[in-house]
A and B are shown apart, each in its own frame.
Chain A
Amino acid sequence: MSATQQVLVAGRPVLGNGRWPPAWRGHLRGSDLTWAIAFVVPYAAVFFAFAVYPIARGLWMGREPSLYAHVVSDPHYTRTVINTLLYVGLGVNVMMFLALLLSGFFMRRRRWIKALLVIYILPWALPAVPAFISFHWMLIGEQGLLDSILRELFGIDGPIWFNHRGLALASNIVAYIWKWMPLWTVIFLAGRMAIPVEIYEAADVDGATGTRRFVHVTFPLLANVYLVCTLLSTIWTLGDFNGAYFVSGGAPAMSTDVLATLGIRYAFDLGQPELGIAVMLSALPMLIPLVIVLMRRVQAMEVQL
C-alpha cells in the first residue's frame, strides 16, 4: 500500500511518526508568509467587522444597569423567562429522547422504513418560516385543519389553541420539535451505524437483547454524542426566534413570548433597542455555562478519537 493510500484510508495520524513532515511545519518565511496572511485576511476581516464589532456594540448598548432594572420590573419579562425555560427544557429534552428512540426504529432493515425516512426528514428540508406559518394556520381555531379533523373524524370540538397560554406554548414546542427532530434523528442514526456489529453480536451471546441491549450497550456508546447534541440544541433553542414568533405569535396577549421574540419586540415594536439588547443579554448567565460545558465535552471527544 502506498503512502497516499495509507493516508487516504487512515487519515493524518498515519503521518504521526514523522516520516513525512508537513510541507511548511508552521515555519513560514518571505513570500510564503505573505501569502498565508493574505489568505486569512478575508476571514479575519469578516470575523472582526461582522462578528466581533457587533458583539462589542451589543455589550456596549446594554451596559446600563438601569436597563436591567427596567426589564425585570416588566411583568412580561418574568413570564417570558418561564416560557423560555419551558420551551428549551421541554422542547429539547423531549425532542432528543424521541430522536434517540426513533433512530433505533430507522435502523431496522426494511425497505418501507428506508422510504419512510425520506419522508420523515422533509420537515428538516422545509425552511422554518413556511413550516411555522403552516402550523399557525393548522391550529388557528375551529377553522384550522387540526380542529376540523377532530370534528369531522371524531366529532370532538377541539380547543382554540391560541386562546390558552399552556396550549399555545405547547403548540410552539410541538412545532419546534417537528421542525428539528429529523436532524437529530439522522445524527443519532449515523452514530448508531458507527457502532461495530461485533459489539452487538457479543451482547447477543451474553443474552442482552431489546431494552437491556439499549440500556447497557447502545446508550453508553452514544452517551457522549447525545450529550453534545443536547447541549448544542439547547443553545440553539434558547436563541430560536421563529417558533414563538410564527406559530403562536406570542398569543394570547404576548404571554407565550420567549427571550428572542421579546427582545425583538422591544427593539422594533417599541423602538427601544437598548431594552431589547438587555433582554437578550439577560440570557447570558444561561448561555455561557452551556457553551463552556460544550467546549469541554467536544475537546474530550477529540482526545478520545
Chain B
Amino acid sequence: MSGAPSFGWPARWPRYRMRRILTEAASAVLGVVLLVWSLLPVYNMLLIALDPEGDNEFAGYIWPPDPSLESFWVVVSQGHWYLENFWSQFGNSLYLGVATAFLTMLIGSLASFTVEQMQLRKARMLTNAGLLTYVLPSSFLAIPFLSVAKSYGLSDNLWAVIAAQVMFATPFAILILQQYAKLIPIELDEAARIDGASPVQLYRHIYLPLMTPGLAAVGTYALLLAWSEHLYQYMLLSSARNWTVAVGLEQFWDSDEAPWNYMMALAIVYALPPIAVFYALRRYLAAGLMMGRVKG
C-alpha cells in the first residue's frame, strides 16, 4: 500500500504540474483582460479630461501628448459659461443626496419599527405592497410623476426629486431594516416594556442605537441612488438655480460643440464622491444587498 504512491506519483507529476501552469497562465490572461475591460472607459474619461486642447478639437490620441489638469481647474473655478453654476449645482446634488438619505432612514426605520417590533399587521401589508415600487422601472413612472408633481405645486422644485427618490428607496430600505431588526433580541423590548417605556422611547433608546449598521447601509444606498439618478432631475428641474450636476452634464450632452475636456472633467468630479462613499462602505453595501436582493 505504501509503495503504490511512490510508483504512481513521479509519472503523473509532470502532467499535474503542466496543468497547474496552464491554469495559472489562463487566470493571468483573464486577469489582464478584466483589468483592461474595467479600466478602459475610465481611462478614456481621464484621457479626454487631461487634453488641454480638447475644447476645440478632438483628435484620436491613445495617450495624452501634453497632459494638463487645466480642465479640472476650469471646473472648480467655474471658468467656462457652461460651468458658471458648478458649485451651486454641486450643492444641489449634495442637498438632494443628503435629504434623500436622511428621509429614507427616518421614514424607513419608523415603518420597519412598526412592522417588525410592534407587529402591526396592516402596516406589514402596506410595506409589502411598497415592494412593487422596487420592481417598477423608474423611467416608466417618470411621465405621470411629472404631471403629479405639477399638480402638487412642486414643478421646478428640488423637493419633487427628493420625494421621488425617497419613494423609490424606502421599500428597499424597509426590507433591509426588517432583516437587521430580526437580530435585535426581543427580550430587550420586553424588559423595556416592563419598565414602562413608551414606543417612542423604545424606538429612540433601543431600536435606533442597535440598528446603526443597518441604517448606515440604507442611508448610503439612498445617497448613492439620489446622487447617481439623472432622468428625474433632468425632467423636474427647469431653472438653472435648481440644477444639479447631473443636469449640468446633460447640458453639455445636448450641445453640439461643447468643450468635451471640460465635460469629462465635470463627469469625473461628479463621480468622485459616490466612488469614495462606495469604497469606504462597500462591506455594508454588499451585506445589505445580499439581505435585500437575494434572500428576498
Chain A interfacial positions (CB closer than 8 Å to B): 3-4, 7-8, 11-12, 15, 20, 22-26, 28, 31-32, 35-37, 39-40, 42-44, 46-47, 49-51, 53-55, 57-58, 61, 102, 105, 108, 110, 112-113, 116, 118-131, 133-135, 137-138, 140, 142-149, 151-153, 175, 178, 182-183, 186-187, 190-191, 225, 228-229, 232, 235-236, 238-242, 246, 260, 263-264, 267-268, 273, 276-277, 280, 283, 287, 291, 294, 298-299, 301-302, 305
A131 CA to B294 CA in the complex, in Å?
26
User: From B121, which residue of chain A is reached at the shortest CB distance?
Assistant: A26
Question: What 1/0 mask marks residues of chain B from 271 to 294 whose CB sits below 8 Å from any chain A CB?
Answer: 100110011001000100110011
Please tell me if the beta carbons of A228 and B294 are within 8 angstroms of each other in the complex: yes
User: From A101, which residue of chain B is reached at the shortest CB distance?
Assistant: B30
**B106 to nearest A CB, angstroms?**
7
Please tell me if the beta carbons of A280 and B140 are within 8 angstroms of each other in the complex: yes
Partner of A61, one of B129, B136, B144, B295: B144
**Contact A32/B199 with A51-B167, A120-B38, A125-B278 known, Cβ cut-off 8 Å:** yes
Give the contacts of B102-153 with A (CB-CB under 8 A). Answer: 106-108, 110-111, 113-115, 117-121, 123, 126-127, 129-130, 132-133, 135-148, 152
Most buried by B among A28, A36, A40, A145: A40
Measured between beta carbons, the chain A residues less than 8 angstroms from B120 are 26, 28, 36-37, 40
Measured between beta carbons, the chain B residues less than 8 angstroms from A287 are 137
Please tell me if the beta carbons of B144 and A40 are within 8 angstroms of each other in the complex: no
Question: What 1/0 mask marks residues of chain B from 245 to 271 whose CB sits below 8 Å from any chain A CB?
Answer: 010011001000000100110011011
Measured between beta carbons, the chain A residues less than 8 angstroms from B231 are 241-242, 264
Measured between beta carbons, the chain A residues less than 8 angstroms from B59 are 143
**A262 to nearest B CB, angstroms?**
11
Please tell me if the beta carbons of B30 and A105 are within 8 angstroms of each other in the complex: yes
The answer to whether the Cβ of B14 comes within 8 Å of any Cβ in the partner chain is no
**B21 to nearest A CB, angstroms?**
15
* Interface 9-residue window, one of B5-13, B70-78, B80-88, B182-190: B182-190
**B100 to nearest A CB, angstroms?**
12
A287 CA to B139 CA in the complex, in Å?
13
Measured between beta carbons, the chain B residues less than 8 angstroms from A232 are 135, 293
**Contact A46/B263 with A26-B121, A280-B143 known, Cβ cut-off 8 Å:** no
A229 CA to B188 CA in the complex, in Å?
36
A132 CA to B113 CA in the complex, in Å?
39
Please tell me if the beta carbons of B44 and A134 are within 8 angstroms of each other in the complex: yes
Please tell me if the beta carbons of A228 and B279 are within 8 angstroms of each other in the complex: no
User: From A260, which residue of chain B is reached at the shortest CB distance?
Assistant: B139
Partner of B62, one of A8, A35, A145, A225: A145
Please tell me if the beta carbons of B167 and A50 are within 8 angstroms of each other in the complex: yes
A122 CA to B39 CA in the complex, in Å?
8
**Contact A51/B185 with A130-B45, A145-B40 known, Cβ cut-off 8 Å:** no
Please tell me if the beta carbons of B270 and A130 are within 8 angstroms of each other in the complex: yes
Please tell me if the beta carbons of B40 and A277 are within 8 angstroms of each other in the complex: no
A299 CA to B275 CA in the complex, in Å?
34
Please tell me if the beta carbons of A191 and B40 are within 8 angstroms of each other in the complex: no
Measured between beta carbons, the chain B residues less than 8 angstroms from A236 are 137
Most buried by B among A25, A55, A143, A187: A55
Please tell me if the beta carbons of A277 and B143 are within 8 angstroms of each other in the complex: yes
Most buried by A among B30, B126, B164, B271: B271
Measured between beta carbons, the chain B residues less than 8 angstroms from A138 are 40-41, 44
**Contact A23/B190 with A43-B107, A51-B133 known, Cβ cut-off 8 Å:** yes
Measured between beta carbons, the chain B residues less than 8 angstroms from A135 are 41
A212 CA to B110 CA in the complex, in Å?
49
Please tell me if the beta carbons of A187 and B35 are within 8 angstroms of each other in the complex: no
Question: What 1/0 mask marks residues of chain B from 51 to 91 whose CB sits below 8 Å from any chain A CB?
Answer: 00000001111100000000000000000000000000000
Can you list 14 residue pairs at the A/B interface with Cβ under 8 Å?
Answer: A11-B182, A23-B117, A35-B118, A40-B120, A43-B111, A50-B145, A119-B38, A122-B38, A126-B42, A127-B227, A129-B230, A129-B267, A129-B270, A267-B143
